Amino acid sequence: MPAPPEGHYHGWFDNVLWSTAPAVASAGPANAPTPVIGSKGQLPESADDLTVLPWNDLEILEAHLKEGDVAGVIMEAAMCNQGSIHPAAGYLEGVRAACTRHGAILIFDEVITGFRLAPGGAQQLFGVTPDISTFGKAIANGFPVAAIAGRADLIDMFTNGGVVHGGTYNAQPVAMAATAATLRSLTPAVYDKIGKSGTALMEGFREVFARHGVTAQVVGFGQVFHVALGLDAPAKNYRDLARMNKPAYVALTTALLRRGVRALERGAWFLSSEHDAGVIDETVAAMSDAVRELKAAGTL
């Protein structure tokens, strides 16, 4: 069976679209979350061979792996679909060792983090290598390209191990050209620029919230971070993040939109090489105005 973490997102297949953003009340206890269906039309039976686990808890993962029935563990190496949460110290290393010890395949979903946090993704940033990695999005700067990489003995099963993999648009020439051009453009200078811009934006937001007396957490990476209203400490997992004041944040994104800033309602902020110092300053100013408006209205 596969074991994905609560709050992580790994695509629309029926056997993994579970507990991506569940209501905590319906998801069962934190130490053994109940799989929550992700879409109407899914068969409940598709979760029969699935175990949803809390993230950043090595002890619980180890206990499940010891049962000997977990084929693979799939996760984001940094929880960027929800919260831009860092892995706890030693967590990824512990997961890697536990999977090796108990014969489970470790899969890192790098569709968000790959080529965004570092040229080699989150696994390069944290120094932990999975057995299989999936990539998309930034790999071709938004063109429809995805990739799977990993151990040769596993990937070679596509060609000589009886594992079927096909796609009408595999190796589509325009998308491949976009991939090559994007990867050539991702120089150390580009990562440095994006990281500095994102860090400046995060610091600007923190200053705005502190100045207006708004309880909030701005955490993550320079390239992708998350804003959570109402949290007095950084979230360590999905359950922590679920306590954020979502209605207030939606109101904040609406106020920002009126000021020319489009922000995702889930709290994620993504930086690009085109976000220069001027854009950062304008965005911080818009955030300050929006927070002032909502404070006056009693929303924050």
Catalytic residue check, 191: no
Confidence band, pLDDT 50/70/90 cuts, at residue 297: very high
Rounded CA gap, 252 and 229, in Å? 10
Would you state the pLDDT for residue 121? 94
Encoded amino acid at 22, one letter: P
pLDDT exceeds cutoff 80 at 2: no
Would you state the pLDDT for residue 49? 87
| Catalytic-labelled residue, pool 14, 48, 131, 137 | 137
Catalytic residue check, 137: yes
Confidence band, pLDDT 50/70/90 cuts, at residue 167: confident
Catalytic residue check, 9: yes
- H helices of the chain, in order, are 58-65, 91-102, 121-126, 152-155, 157-160, 173-185, 188-211, 238-241, 246-257, 277-297
Confidence band, pLDDT 50/70/90 cuts, at residue 136: very high
Q: Give the count of beta carbons closer than 10 Å to the beta carbon of residue 66.
A: 12
114-133 pLDDT, tens digit per residue, is 999 999 999 999 999 999 99
pTM of the model: 0.92
Rounded CA gap, 53 and 34, in Å? 9
Adjacent-strand bridge partners of 53? 5
Residue 146 in contact with residue 135, Cβ under 8 Å? Answer: yes
Residues 6+ apart with CB under 8 A from 192: none
Residue 106 in contact with residue 130, Cβ under 8 Å? Answer: yes
pLDDT-above-70 percentage for the chain: 99
Give the three-state DSSP class for 287.
Answer: helix
pLDDT exceeds cutoff 70 at 209: yes
**Greatest Cα-to-Cα distance within the chain, rounded to the nearest angstrom:** 65
176-202 pLDDT, tens digit per residue, is 999 999 999 999 999 999 999 999 999
| Catalytic-labelled residue, pool 91, 109, 236, 238 | 109
84-104 pLDDT, tens digit per residue, is 999 999 999 999 999 999 999
Residue 287 in contact with residue 203, Cβ under 8 Å? Answer: no
Average pLDDT, the chain: 94
pLDDT exceeds cutoff 80 at 1: no
